[in-house]
Homo-oligomer: A and B are copies of this chain.
Amino acid sequence: MSGMNAPTRTKIATLHDVARAAGVSLITASRALSNPRIVSEKTIARVQQAVEATGYIPNLLAGSLKSRRSLMVAGIVPALSVSQFLPTVQTLTSTLSAAGYQLILGQTNYDPAQEDSVLSTMIGRQPDGMFITGLVQSDKARERLARAGIPVVETWDLTDDPVDMVIGFSHDKVGREVGDYFRKRGWEHVGVATGNDHRALLRRDGFVAALGRDVPTALVPAPSSLALGRQALTDLLRAEPRLQAVCCSSDQLANGVLVEAQSRGLRIPQDLAICGFGNADFAAHMFPSITTVHVDGPEIGRRTAQLIIDRCQDRPIDHKIIDMGFSLIERASTGG
C-alpha cells in the first residue's frame, strides 16, 4: 500500500457543460437552477436532466464572487470544547441552515493574537455575517469588522458600544445576584471556583461586590471540567476547612466540586452548598440537582441568526442591543 497517490481528478462538470447538454445558454441554465420561476417548465426539466447526467455541483466560490453573497456566516468561539456555547452554536447553525446559510467556525483558544488572525481570515472568506462569542476586544479587529460592512453580532455579553449588534446579558449582574443569594443564606465561609476567562472573572467580581467581602478563590484554566472542579474544591478546603458554600463559574466545575465533596463523605447541601452557572443539560438531573444560573443559550443562537438573516435581506432591525437576562434556579444543591 505504499506510494499511493491521489485519485485522478476527473474533469468536473461546470454550468457550461450542463448548458450544452441541455441545449440552452449558460445563463438560462443558471436561472433554471437558482431562479426557476422565470424559466419555462420544459427548460427547467431539460436542465435538471442535464444536471443529473453530468453530475453537476455548482461552484459556490464562483457564484459568491460574482453575486457578492456567499451564504456563509462566520462564527468565532474560544474553543469547540467550551460546552457552554454549544447549544447556542447548535441553534445558530440550524436557523441559518433553514435560511440557506452555512456556518464556518473559527477558534481563538482564548488568545487575542489568534482572535485577530482568525478574524482576518474569516473576513477574507467574504461571509455575509458574523457571530462572535464575547465582545471584540482589540480596536484593530473592531475596525476591520466595521469596514467589512457585514452584520456582526457579539454575544454572551453586553456593551453600550457594540461593533454592530450585541445580544447577551450582564455578567456583573449575574455575579451580584448569586452574591446576594449567598449573603441572604447567611453562609459565613464561602469560596469561589472559577475559570480564568474574562467573563467568568466579571461574574466573580460581581459576586464579591454583592457579598461585601473578599473570599477564597480557586482559579482554574479555561475551559473548565469536572476534574478541575475536584481540584478546585481540594484547594478551597485547604485554604478554608470550614467551607460551607461554593460558587462556581460553570456547571462542569460545580459537578466536579459535588463529586469531590461526595468522595470526601460530605453531604450536599448540609455540609456544603454548591451553585453553578449555565444550567447545563445535566444540572437538573444530578443527585442532588445543582442550583445554577440559567441563560437561554439556544435563544441567543436563534436570535443572532435571525438578526443576521434580516440584515442580509435588508429588513430593518428593531434593537441593536438585546439584553437576554438570566435567572437563578434554586435546586437541591443549595437546599432550595
| Chain A residues in the interface with B (C-beta under 8 A) | 1-10, 12, 55, 57-62, 64-65, 70, 72, 79-81, 83, 86-87, 89-90, 93-94, 97, 102-107, 120-121, 123-126, 143-144, 146-149, 151, 164, 225-227, 230, 255-256, 259-260, 262-263, 281-282, 284-287, 311, 314, 316-320
Given A81-B86, A102-B121, A262-B287 in contact, is the A151-B93 Cβ separation under 8 Å? no
Determine if A125 and B10 form an interchain contact, defined as CB atoms under 8 angstroms apart: no
Determine if A90 and B80 form an interchain contact, defined as CB atoms under 8 angstroms apart: yes
Determine if B282 and A149 form an interchain contact, defined as CB atoms under 8 angstroms apart: no
Determine if A320 and B147 form an interchain contact, defined as CB atoms under 8 angstroms apart: no
Which residues of B are found within 8 Å of A147, using beta-carbon distances? Answer: 10, 12, 55
Q: Which residue of B lies closest to A152 (CB)?
A: B7
Determine if A149 and B61 form an interchain contact, defined as CB atoms under 8 angstroms apart: no
Determine if A126 and B61 form an interchain contact, defined as CB atoms under 8 angstroms apart: yes
| Total copies of the chain | 2
Taken together as a complex, chains A and B put the C-alpha atoms of A148 and B60 apart, in Å, by 14
Which residues of B are found within 8 Å of A8, using beta-carbon distances? Answer: 149
Determine if A281 and B1 form an interchain contact, defined as CB atoms under 8 angstroms apart: no
Determine if A149 and B10 form an interchain contact, defined as CB atoms under 8 angstroms apart: yes
Which residues of B are found within 8 Å of A121, using beta-carbon distances? Answer: 60, 102
Cβ 8 A contact of A7, one of B65, B102, B120, B164 = B164
Which residues of B are found within 8 Å of A318, using beta-carbon distances? Answer: 1-2, 4
Given A83-B83, A104-B105 in contact, is the A314-B6 Cβ separation under 8 Å? yes
Cβ 8 A contact of A58, one of B1, B61, B90, B124 = B124
Determine if A2 and B58 form an interchain contact, defined as CB atoms under 8 angstroms apart: no
Which residues of B are found within 8 Å of A7, using beta-carbon distances? Answer: 146, 149, 164
| Interface SS of A by simple majority | mixed
Determine if A124 and B287 form an interchain contact, defined as CB atoms under 8 angstroms apart: no
Cβ 8 A contact of A6, one of B151, B260, B284 = B151
Scoring A87, A102, A120 by chain B CB atoms within 10 A of each residue's CB, the highest score goes to A102
Q: What are 18 pairs between A and B in contact, CB < 8 Å?
A: A4-B318, A5-B314, A7-B146, A7-B164, A55-B143, A59-B126, A60-B125, A61-B61, A61-B65, A62-B65, A65-B65, A72-B104, A80-B89, A93-B105, A102-B121, A102-B125, A226-B285, A227-B282
Determine if A4 and B317 form an interchain contact, defined as CB atoms under 8 angstroms apart: yes
Which residues of B are found within 8 Å of A286, using beta-carbon distances? Answer: 226, 259
Taken together as a complex, chains A and B put the C-alpha atoms of A62 and B72 apart, in Å, by 15
Taken together as a complex, chains A and B put the C-alpha atoms of A93 and B89 apart, in Å, by 16
Taken together as a complex, chains A and B put the C-alpha atoms of A288 and B2 apart, in Å, by 46
Determine if B59 and A144 form an interchain contact, defined as CB atoms under 8 angstroms apart: no
Which residues of B are found within 8 Å of A89, using beta-carbon distances? Answer: 80
Determine if A124 and B320 form an interchain contact, defined as CB atoms under 8 angstroms apart: no
Determine if A103 and B102 form an interchain contact, defined as CB atoms under 8 angstroms apart: no
Which residues of B are found within 8 Å of A93, using beta-carbon distances? Answer: 80, 105, 107
Q: Which residue of B lies closest to A164 (CB)?
A: B7
Please give the distance in Å from A99's CB to the nearest CB on chain B.
Answer: 13
